[in-house]
Amino acid sequence: MTGAQAILKFLGHQGIEAVFGYPGGAIMPLYDALLDSPIRHYLCRHEQGAAFAAIGQARSTNSVGVCVATSGPGATNLLTSLADAKLDSVPLVVITGQVARPAMGTDAFQEVDVLGLSLSISKHSMQVLDGKDLLPSLERAFFIAQDGRPGPVLVDIPKDILLSEVSFPALKPVQPNTTTSADADLIAKANQLLAQAKRPLAYVGGGVGMAEAVPQLRDFITTNSLPTVSTLKGLGAADADHPLYLGMLGMHGLPAANLAVQECDLLIAIGARLDDRVTGKLDEFAPHAKLLHLDIDPAEIHKRRQADVAILGDLQAILPQLQGPASAAWCHHIAQRKAAKAYNYSQADDAENIHAPTLLHYLSEQTKREAIVSCDVGQHQMWVAQHMTFADPTRHLSSGGLGTMGFGLPAAIGAQVAHPDKAVIAVCGDGSFMMNVQELATLRRYGLPVKILVLDNQRLGMVKQWQELFHQERYSETDLSDNPPFSRLAQAFDIAAEEISEPSQVQEAVARMLAHQGPYLLHVRLDANANVWPIVPPNTANHQMWEQPQ
């Protein structure tokens, strides 16, 4: 069989049922082989969209996503998505075509050194220069993408290898290593910290969901009556109904969450990396707390703060071995603070303007937290994190580390492909939506029932907010008042749509959107002056956050 046929057969052995991509000259042999393959290909309208769709599939399933692209511009168009997957630890295998080996190094048509370009933004990159190395390289790519801390792997394959004859040995599905149990002495030290703590706090990151350790985390929190906060990527891991769950912490964290971190005497970082958006001014973050750090990646231990005890390993194995109940007084204090700082949606009502937090809170209630919500980046992303709750981390897809505008719609496409029977909603800002708007054609082509909620304040809202608060209201290039009418734009793609601008329209419009059988776009006009609260100003401790002005 040809190299192209062998690749598709290999993907089938790995359980891959769908790939996302865009054809071109160097990858054409693979597309020819697809005609005879059971693997479904989803033609996206931009390679970045294809890679984001693969990320959406991977993140909503905790499995490897696959995308393909041709050489040159096809490969370079993937790079932003590759970086996004690297920073958010997404298992992704990216297959790019390359010019034929005899033409390499000659500045041939559409020749780019994608291997070199990808080195710093992938977990691993490789180039296949011999047909006998093709399948071993793919095996290695799948292994590396899943092993330990997940991440994207790029495999660059010259066109002549795709056309050459290769043998296909007997293969088994690639499995990552089984992580050994944690050191017993470290477990004992961790339990000693827990026993001594009077004000412990669980700080939950995205690593919990990636480790599929949600049941173990929830048992750990419940058994020990632990107040809990979450990062953006950790949302959905802790039970949102737990009386001591406080929501997201950090720059736009909820007040009760940020204040609890500043008061705790033991911070238990679970699959979290203490990134700058969480800590604020680092030397004033959790100033009274010892740090117990649990993670799979040794590079994260002691990176930004020295841990008092650090345990490397599988969270599924570690968490059941830890015990140390929080004191009743601390739990009572946390519960009181949570009640005092709870968001009052009724008081937030505005007779003239649709209030995004209220709308998103209502949407969360209507979907019973089971919908998969894919976010773009900006103010709406933070409103989703603050005001929607999720049954599981795989229900909340958001570009965290890279903060990539244009992520929401294509990631929702990948999630919908992976979960044809689930409700999938893309929450987009007007600025972000325009960055991959071409993927409306992908929705139409495949009839994917993704629901798109475009929150339109005719601004680059987050940049505008910073210009307002920290740059003396000197607004520069954040006015998007020349946006198209998004509902009519969707209708041009034969996608049902409507536009609303008044609070009284919200409930019926949301009901129509959710009830519609196919793709649907709901264009919501917002007040351009609305901001995200609270906010932690630059170089400021989290307890000095600015809460919503009265």
Model pLDDT for residues 400-431, shown as the tens digit of each residue: 999 999 999 999 999 999 999 999 999 999 99
- Do 406 and 309 lie in a common domain? no
- Do 118 and 18 lie in a common domain? yes
Of 462, 464, 467, 513, the catalytic one is 462
What pLDDT was estimated at residue 348? Answer: 65
- Do 374 and 325 lie in a common domain? no
Tell me whether residue 268 is in a domain: yes
Tell me whether residue 174 is in a domain: no
Annotated active-site residue 28? The verdict is: no
Annotated active-site residue 316? The verdict is: no
- Helix H, strand E, coil C: the string for 479-526 is ECCCCCCHHHHHHHCCCEEEEECCHHHHHHHHHHHHHCCCCEEEEEEE
Tell me whether residue 178 is in a domain: no
Dihedral sign (CA 206, 211, 214, 217): negative
Tell me whether residue 347 is in a domain: no
Of 123, 159, 233, 451, the catalytic one is 159
- Helix H, strand E, coil C: the string for 296-343 is CCHHHCCCCCCCCEEEECCHHHHHHHCCCCCCHHHHHHHHHHHHHCCC
Tell me whether residue 535 is in a domain: no
- Do 144 and 10 lie in a common domain? yes
Q: How are the residues of the chain apportioned to helix, strand and coil, as percentages rounded to the nearest 5?
A: 40, 15, 40
- Do 484 and 511 lie in a common domain? yes
- Do 395 and 305 lie in a common domain? no
What pLDDT was estimated at residue 112? Answer: 96
Tell me whether residue 483 is in a domain: yes
CA–CA dist 240, 293 (Å, integer):
22
- Cα of first residue to Cα of last residue in the chain, in angstroms, is 70
What pLDDT was estimated at residue 185? Answer: 93
Of 109, 132, 370, 470, the catalytic one is 109
Tell me whether residue 306 is in a domain: yes
Of 14, 110, 366, 505, the catalytic one is 110
Annotated active-site residue 493? The verdict is: no
CA–CA dist 88, 398 (Å, integer):
9
Picking from 108, 131, 163, the residue at the C-terminal end of a domain is 163
- Do 366 and 503 lie in a common domain? yes
Model pLDDT for residues 208-231, shown as the tens digit of each residue: 999 999 999 999 999 999 999 999
Picking from 340, 364, 382, the residue at the C-terminal end of a domain is 340
- Do 457 and 497 lie in a common domain? yes
Annotated active-site residue 109? The verdict is: yes
Tokens, residue 346: 């009724």
- Do 11 and 123 lie in a common domain? yes
Tell me whether residue 173 is in a domain: no
- Do 370 and 513 lie in a common domain? yes
Of 5, 47, 382, 439, the catalytic one is 47
What pLDDT was estimated at residue 182? Answer: 79
What stretches in the chain show pLDDT beneath 50?
none
> Is residue 294 a contact partner of residue 315, using CB atoms and an 8 Å limit?
yes
Domain that holds residue 326: 184-340
CA–CA dist 431, 106 (Å, integer):
40
- Do 46 and 88 lie in a common domain? yes
- Do 32 and 110 lie in a common domain? yes
CA–CA dist 483, 280 (Å, integer):
34
Domains held by the chain: number? 3
Cis peptide bond N-terminal to 152, omega within 30 = no
Q: Is 390 helix (H, G, I), strand (E, B) or coil?
A: coil
Residue 31: CATH number of its domain: 3.40.50.970
What pLDDT was estimated at residue 121? Answer: 98
Annotated active-site residue 390? The verdict is: no
What pLDDT was estimated at residue 183? Answer: 86
